[in-house]
Amino acid sequence: MRLITTLSILLIGQILFGQNRVQKIDSLLTVMHKNEKLNGSVLIAEKGKVIYKHSFGYSNEETKQELDENSIFELASCSKQFTAMAIMMLKENGRLNLDDNISKFIPELANYKDITIRNLLNHTGGLPDYMVLMDSLFDKSKIATNKDIISIFSKNQPKIVFEPNTKYEYSNTGYALLASIIEKASGQTFADYLQKKIFTPLKMTKSFVYTRRYSPKKVDNYAFGYVYSDSLKKYFLPDSLTETNMVIWLDGIVGDGCVNSTVNDLLKWDRALYTNKLLSKEGMAELFQVATLNDKSKTKYGFGWAIDDNADFGKIVSHSGGWPGYVTYIDRHITNDKTIIILQNHNNVSIPVKSIRSILYNKPLPKPIVRKEVALPTEQLQKLIGVYEVEKDFEIKIKLENNQLFTQLTGQNAFPIFAESEQLFFLKVVDAQLQFEKNDKDEIVKLYLLQNGNKIEAKRIK
């Protein structure tokens, strides 16, 4: 896996000088693809008119079939916006209320009496992560479905992480349960409801819910997702690697993921969100309102969308998605009606949204971050191995395999980390660092996760 080197960055700057916006975007993405930091399809539109559309790389590494504008990608968490829309449509049809307790539709969860549908929509419910629970409680020889999540929560009754509406914490559990609520309220499967009420009316002909291991079918022009093994220096389907084989036994779960689509179809979706084809004017506005917590503070999330009132670019609603083999992003600039859609089927890639935004608005490109990797002896790396607790039921594990350190957050994949110094490490899959801290006895006692201007502390517990 190659990084974009300092020389490449300087080259990008030279290439972009004097070009128009579209040429600058193409040059940027072309260099990223050559440096293995981009593999997928990109579409950019202004007021609905496509100004840039291009695909980079293969949809199938074995057959070398090339990606194109009709390649179908797993959207991962970008699926959540469709789940939220379905809930809002059922609300307007009188099938549910947002302040209904979730037990009204899922009686097995009566123990969670204070959690509402609204809490699930805006990630304020406090339910623990289902992936962590199922990692230890589910029979992985089978493929889990949403019913298995409900069964495990009903049987084990894990405690909530926080009281509803006192905190925002991103929750895949909430959106999986929303899919089950959609099925109960509509009398249709989650897949059928989205197909009949959203995809077909919007003529999104290449969009559907797809669980390819649980319910396989032939899909033409499917973009298979690949993960890169640093140790083997090769791309693999995630099914074949131990650290990513959850894609098999979690494949029957929908709502938090499993919508598949193309860049062209997602532009149709984007355009519909400026109309009232699916929801009333009031309903559309509610989708893009941030949540208010009990203490009157505001979050930065609405219903299936992250919300940002940006000083430079106006109001932006966006969402990212990540699942072994897939990295996705949709960026909708509501104030200025610009759209950026990026669908990728490699895991070791970047999301160049900030750079594309800057080019679209004729602003200077953000300064690239170039980190210098240093080699550390094995005995130094071994001192860092352990479990670091951010809060109850949310940990950062550090492990060493074949002289390579890995970090793993609760409910997420393990990723390699690389040393900048004895106590400062960085990730290549995302722009993030881990800073380890010693006590006066020279023992590692905590670490800090540094990402997007945030500094999250985790104390060592093992």
What CATH number is associated with residue 403?
2.40.128.50
The mean per-residue pLDDT over the stretch 313-321 comes to: 96
Q: Give the pLDDT score at 321.
A: 95
Mean pLDDT of 98-107: 98
Quote the strand ranges of 146-276, DSSP E.
Answer: 208-209, 227-229, 234-236, 259-261
Please tell me whether residues 171 and 119 are part of one structural domain: yes
Same domain, 211 and 102: yes
Say whether pLDDT at 348 is over 90.
Answer: no
407-432 pLDDT per residue, tens: 988 766 678 899 999 999 998 767 78
- Asked whether the predicted pLDDT for residue 4 surpasses 90, the reply is no
Residues 405 and 270 in one domain: no
Same-domain check for residues 425 and 296 = no
Q: Are residues 407 and 325 in the same domain?
A: no
Euclidean distance between CA atoms 313 and 315, whole angstroms: 7
Residue at 361 is within a domain: no
CATH number of the domain within which 311 lies: 3.40.710.10
Residue 262 has pLDDT above 50, yes or no: yes
Give the mean pLDDT of 340-358: 94
Are 203 and 121 in a shared domain? yes
Please check whether residues 303 and 434 belong to one and the same domain.
no
Residue 43 lies in a domain: no
pLDDT at 158: 95
H helices present in 218-262, as ranges: 246-249
**Which is the catalytic residue, given 41, 55, 77, 350?**
77
Residue 147 scores a pLDDT above 70 = yes
Residues 278 and 386 in one domain: no
N-to-C CA span, the chain:
32
Tell me, yes or no, whether 435 lies in a domain.
yes
Distance CA 2, CA 323 (A): 21
**Does residue 89 belong to any structural domain of this protein?**
yes
Residue 397, pLDDT > 90, answer yes
Does the pLDDT at position 12 exceed 50?
no
Same domain, 324 and 212: yes
Domain co-membership, 345 together with 382: no
Residue 11 has pLDDT above 60, yes or no: no
**Which domain range does residue 183 map to?**
74-349
Angle 228-326-71 (CA atoms, 0-180°, nearest 5)? 115
- Residue 425 included in any domain: yes
Residue with tokens 């690389």: 418
- pLDDT given for residue 270 in this prediction: 98
pTM to 2 decimal places: 0.82
Residue whose C-alpha is closest to residue 176's, from 93, 251, 273: 251
Question: Which among 330, 349, 368 is the end of a domain?
Answer: 349
358 within a domain of the structure (yes/no): no
pLDDT digits (tens, 9 = 90+) for 18-39: 579 999 999 999 999 998 999 9
- Our CA angle for 40, 42, 346, nearest 5°, is 20
Residue from 53, 55, 25, 50 nearest 38 by CA: 55
| Gap between the Cα atoms of 390 and 458, Å rounded | 4
136 given a catalytic annotation: no
- In the chain, how many domains are there? 2
Residues 120 and 171 in one domain: yes
* Residue 148 or residue 4, greater confidence: 148
Q: pLDDT by residue (tens digit) across 205-253?
A: 999 999 999 999 999 999 999 998 877 788 999 999 888 899 999 999 9
Quote the pLDDT of residue 137: 94
The average confidence (pLDDT) of the chain is 91
108, part of any domain = yes
The answer to whether residues 105 and 304 touch, using CB atoms and an 8 Å cutoff, is no
- Asked whether residue 367 is assigned to any structural domain, the reply reads no
Q: Span 124-140, mean pLDDT?
A: 93
Least confident of 59-63, 166-170, 310-314, 455-459: 455-459
Q: For residues 39 and 33, what is the distance between their CA atoms, to the nearest angstrom? A: 6
Same structural domain, 148 and 280: yes
Domain end position, chosen among 298, 328, 349: 349
